[in-house]
Chain A
């Protein structure tokens, strides 16, 4: 099995400038470590031949890269314009209530992380909620208890 370092070298070879491999390399590091811990960012920087600071700068820009540990499930509620216009804020608040946490937090049992997210590209189906990277569309606050129930029951 090839190591992380070797995999990144292969990705780097596909670009004229190795630093262009930052996003795939960060995604790989996240898969390996669960989230982009300082150690993961250092490992990524060494493999890319850049600095951990530049890796963190890129990682902190993108919503799909996590700089803090996440729960087993990730609930992401789009709060950009289209979703906001049809009540994304209320959906987010319903999740907060149902899960007993604030947006950006993880439940005490480490099961669910709730976060607002930038546009998921589903403006026609607002409000869009991403559950472990699978979209739920036209979500209303009333739908939230069932979704949480589903998550809790482990389906």
Chain B
């Protein structure tokens, strides 16, 4: 590739050379000069120049200040910001005075106060006092945009960041500007809530205190909080986040832009689920089943004695059901204790995993730059790995063809094509790799169902080399984590087990079927590592001290009793795993924005044949999916209840046409014996022959269904 073409311009007398096409705001930053902005945010698409804060004197150009954010750097351009131009300084001062005409002076009670761009820029560029002696505009406040977001219209400066996000990034079209000119207001439709998976991003985008989080409102002030960088553990994307903590409690989750992973966006599940740390039914002490009295809380010493007894009595006939949300260290520790200490090699994983796709490893951001994105597997990407959906949407906006049915010619003909598999038949990525190899692709993704399923599986297999047959009958079933405890297949396994040991955060999940419950911790309370769906090893940090010892602490204690050497420190455990699985990289080197390991050489041979979606003759194939807003943590955060799926069925436009079904119409979906009635939602993101319904509404429907009006 040839060297990037550059242009040279002068900003406040400083000559600066930047790549052609660089915006003036970025060009100024390169020269160490700030052009202040409110509405400018490149991630929202083309600049709109709505707020006028960036006014600069620019030559060549008209003899009046221009909105710098809407311009790109040109050779020979002379830019003078408020630093060196009285005209620009006047213009910025006037802009701020104008914005402040109706902006209330309620900073002392405003959540944004202390971390507010309007406050900061007024301090630096604005008028010291006001000439306005008349009353300011007032509105009813706060308006609940949703159970998660409060709107204070008085504070809004109409920068349109939030509505641009809603329409142009998340493409949900829920948050809009109604009316016109000075009367414009940010609003949803009528009294309807802003119900969309990415709604919370507008809170972070708002440059004033107009959109605030209902769960953070009046909870903390910026000077008494501590942001801890960690990684979200709610889905396999592993968005980089900052957990804002105050006095040992997580108060909010903010994005921490990793440009290859999340581009600074978060879904509402990742942003708002933190309240599960304080769930009413949180298990804070070990619970032991006692013959006559039912259950009793016991000391840790007693609990470890009981755990040791359960492990010894099982005589190696142990099955471990994993959640896929354990850290690598935790899964390894559990594996080492059980496999080396007790010869218990049998594990029940939440899903298949495979390293076959490592040969096609690219960052998620590669989706954005592709010409063709093939999204196969039929399950909705947004419900499993929401941020991936945003990358796909961005690719489409940039002109990529997004296919929901494999068109080999289009894929082969593309300069860069990316494959995203979400749904059954992917075999943890193995069949996807076969397909990627056949199509000659450089990048492919498989979207797993669990946050760290791959890491847990790898860690378990690193922990010992020996194997054994599955025990029958099962002497002891160890249920590791809440997702496993909520899994019906694990419950079925428990029916066949003589004893059950459950590690869980929540009493509601553990009570009733466990002989011993050991308290679990959340991803926000653990130090350790996860592997995301790209194959990136990312670092989780303990953002707050959990009310119970973490898993590694007591697993290592228990290990001592079986003469297994195990450190209670994640860094040391990771080093053991790393030596086997990650080429020996030390814990400390993973960093806050971890890099993606290079793709491995193509595997010599990948077994497995065709993808095996069940074929359905005639009629339609039902794909049921687990909705994003579900699972043990989400169910304990009531503010998220309204995000549960609507009673809708997604149909392709082609099928709808041939069935004579309209968007929004009630339809009946039938499979032998049962039927459900749902609203039809026509989708261009679904191939013909498939109908999609969330688990909440699919009832007893079988995979082959018929639709009638």
Contacts and interface: CB of A to CB of B under 8 A. Distances in A.
Interface string A46-70: 1101111110110011000000000
A54 B176 CA distance: 6
Interface string B174-207: 1111111000000111101000000000000000
B264 interface: no
A100 to B, nearest CB: 26
Contacts of B189: 38, 41, 51-53, 56
Nearest to B657: A9
Given A46-B664, A51-B173, A57 B178 contact: yes
Contacts of B662: 5, 46
Nearest to A59: B178
12 contacts: A47-B663, A51-B172, A51-B173, A52-B190, A53-B174, A53-B176, A53-B187, A53-B189, A53-B192, A54-B176, A57-B176, A61-B180
Contacts of A52: 189-190, 192
A53 B175 contact: yes
Contacts, number: 43
A46 B189 CA distance: 14
Given A38-B190, A41-B189, A50 B173 contact: yes
Interface string B654-667: 00000000111000
B167 A54 contact: yes
Nearest to B183: A60
Contacts of B178: 56-57, 60
A42 B192 CA distance: 12
Contacts of A5: 662
Interface of B: 167, 172-180, 187-190, 192, 662-664, 682
Contacts of B175: 53
A60 B184 CA distance: 9
Contacts of B167: 54
Interface of B, helix, strand, loop or mixed by DSSP: loop
Nearest to A118: B180
Given A51-B172, A56-B176, A56-B189, 10 more contacts: A5-B662, A38-B190, A46-B662, A49-B663, A49-B682, A53-B188, A54-B167, A57-B176, A57-B178, A60-B178
B180 A60 contact: yes
Contacts of A54: 167, 173, 176
Contact of B174 (A38, A47, A51, A61): A51
Interface string A16-56: 00000000000000000000001001100011011111101
Contacts of A42: 664
Contacts of A53: 173-176, 187-189, 192
A51 B646 CA distance: 15
A80 B176 CA distance: 26
A53 B196 CA distance: 13
Contacts of A56: 176, 178, 187, 189-190
B179 A61 contact: yes
Nearest to A19: B173
Nearest to B194: A53
A25 to B, nearest CB: 13
Contacts of A41: 189
Contacts of B188: 53
Question: Residue among A5, A52, A53 with the most chain B CB within 10 A?
Answer: A53
A29 to B, nearest CB: 14
A68 to B, nearest CB: 13
Nearest to B180: A61
Q: Which 4 A-B pairs have the closest CB atoms?
A: A46-B664, A57-B176, A51-B173, A53-B189
A50 B179 CA distance: 19
Contacts of B172: 51
A103 to B, nearest CB: 14
A82 B277 CA distance: 63
Question: Residue among A5, A38, A60 with the most chain B CB within 10 A?
Answer: A60
A29 B187 CA distance: 22
A38 B190 CA distance: 8
Nearest to B179: A60
A46 B176 contact: no
Contacts of B190: 38, 52, 56
A62 to B, nearest CB: 9
